[in-house]
């Protein structure tokens, strides 16, 4: 699928923002005064900035508020509602921390809201039958480990970050190994895509359209295997290969900055691959994979 920069920024930075807010909700760390303000500003810049970036991918951004009305059937709507409630409660928690108070019950509720928000974001992709690569337990597992692991890194929770990012690296490898063949194993073919499979083998005689259209732009994106392989190595190295040894040795101000920067760049690369390598079944209708 088309790796739109707005969606890549959304899934990367909102995940990190809510991940940091999760740890702040648990009182880890439990800063007060201007230090607390700094932590919460970072969390809100990531969470809110990511959510705002996602609106640039909407056909009618001015109607974004209407997405909140479909919560009964839409994971996108549920995500928006969960994010708004969590951020409002987090604002109260941040205000209390600014004046030297940690409100434990409210903090736990904020942390729970962060988990719900990240989970609903993951389900936007994991519930899609049309993208077999995403319809797997590794999709929400990746969203949770990268969000909470990156958040722990930002919150200076070294042990938690080490464990979660190690788990995230393992889940990412499993997602690639199993995902590369999941489309073929789904049983979807050109015959099933066109509805003509019962008549025998289906082959394209002429393309459905003489020029590019919305479906081709959004859902048919092909990345070369060689490029994907090298991008996977780069993404794994930056997201996990650099931060994990630093976390194992111990964080300092300098090494923490290096680890955070490397991890963010790595997650951006992995998110690009997450979309670019997601084969949508509509590609079969156009004779493309």
Instruction: Indicate if the pLDDT at residue 198 is higher than 90.
Output: no
Q: Specify whether the CB–CB gap between 5 and 276 falls below 8 A.
A: no
- How far apart are the C-alpha atoms of 221 and 283, rounded to whole Å? 9
Whether the CB-CB separation of 110 and 86 falls below 8 Å is answered with: yes
Mean pLDDT of all residues in the chain? Answer: 89
pLDDT the model gives residue 175 = 96
- Whether the per-residue pLDDT at 289 is higher than 70: the answer is no
Residue 226 CA to residue 176 CA, distance in Å, equals 15
Q: How far is CA 196 from CA 3, 164, 187, 281, in A?
A: 30, 46, 14, 15
Given the structure tokens 């004779």, which residue do they identify? Answer: 287
Question: Cβ of 99: how many Cβ atoms within 10 Å?
Answer: 9
Q: Is 70 exceeded by the pLDDT of residue 162?
A: yes
Q: Is the peptide bond before 78 cis (omega within 30 degrees of 0)?
A: no
Mean pLDDT of 83-109: 95
The C-alpha atoms of residue 186 and residue 132 are separated, in whole angstroms, by 7
Which residues touch 254 (CB under 8 Å, ≥6 apart)? Answer: none
Q: How far apart are CA 80 and CA 68, in angstroms?
A: 6
Higher-scoring residue by pLDDT: 42, 59: 42
- Prediction pTM value: 0.90
Residue 199's pLDDT band (cuts 50, 70, 90): confident
Alpha helices in 213-252 (DSSP H): 214-219, 225-236, 243-249
User: How confident is residue 8, by pLDDT bands cut at 50, 70 and 90?
Assistant: very high
Distance CA 97, CA 30 (A): 8
**Mean pLDDT over residues 9-27, rounded?**
96
Which residue ranges form the domains of the chain, and what is each CATH number?
A: 5-285 (1.20.1630.10)
pLDDT of residue 186: 81
Q: How far is CA 193 from CA 127, 209, 277, in A?
A: 19, 16, 19
Query: What is the enclosing helix (H) or strand (E) of 89?
Result: helix 75-98
């Amino acid at each position: 699928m088309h790796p739109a920069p707005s969606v890549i920024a959304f899934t990367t930075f909102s995940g990190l923002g809510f991940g940091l807010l999760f740890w702040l909700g648990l009182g880890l760390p439990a800063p007060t005064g201007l230090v607390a303000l700094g932590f919460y500003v970072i969390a809100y810049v990531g969470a809110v900035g990511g959510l705002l970036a996602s609106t640039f991918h909407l056909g009618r951004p001015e109607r974004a508020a209407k997405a909140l009305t479909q919560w009964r059937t839409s994971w996108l709507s549920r995500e928006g509602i969960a994010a708004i409630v969590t951020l409002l409660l987090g604002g109260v928690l941040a205000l209390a921390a600014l004046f030297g108070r940690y409100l434990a019950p409210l903090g736990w509720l904020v942390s729970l809201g962060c988990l719900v928000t990240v989970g609903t974001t993951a389900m936007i992709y994991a519930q899609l039958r049309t993208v077999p690569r995403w319809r797997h337990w590794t999709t929400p597992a990746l969203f949770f480990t990268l969000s909470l692991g990156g958040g722990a890194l930002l919150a200076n929770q070294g042990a938690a970050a080490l464990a979660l990012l190690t788990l995230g690296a393992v889940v990412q490898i499993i997602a690639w190994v199993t995902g590369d063949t999941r489309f073929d194993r789904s049983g979807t073919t050109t015959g099933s895509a066109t509805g003509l499979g019962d008549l025998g083998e289906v082959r394209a005689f002429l393309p459905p359209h003489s020029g590019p259209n919305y479906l081709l732009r959004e859902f048919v994106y092909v990345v070369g295997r060689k490029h994907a392989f090298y991008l996977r190595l780069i993404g794994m190295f930056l997201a996990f290969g650099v931060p994990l040894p630093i976390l194992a040795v111990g964080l300092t101000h300098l090494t923490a900055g290096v680890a955070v920067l490397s991890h963010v760049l790595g997650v951006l690369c992995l998110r690009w691959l997450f979309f670019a390598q997601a084969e949508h079944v509509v590609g079969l209708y156009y004779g493309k994979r």
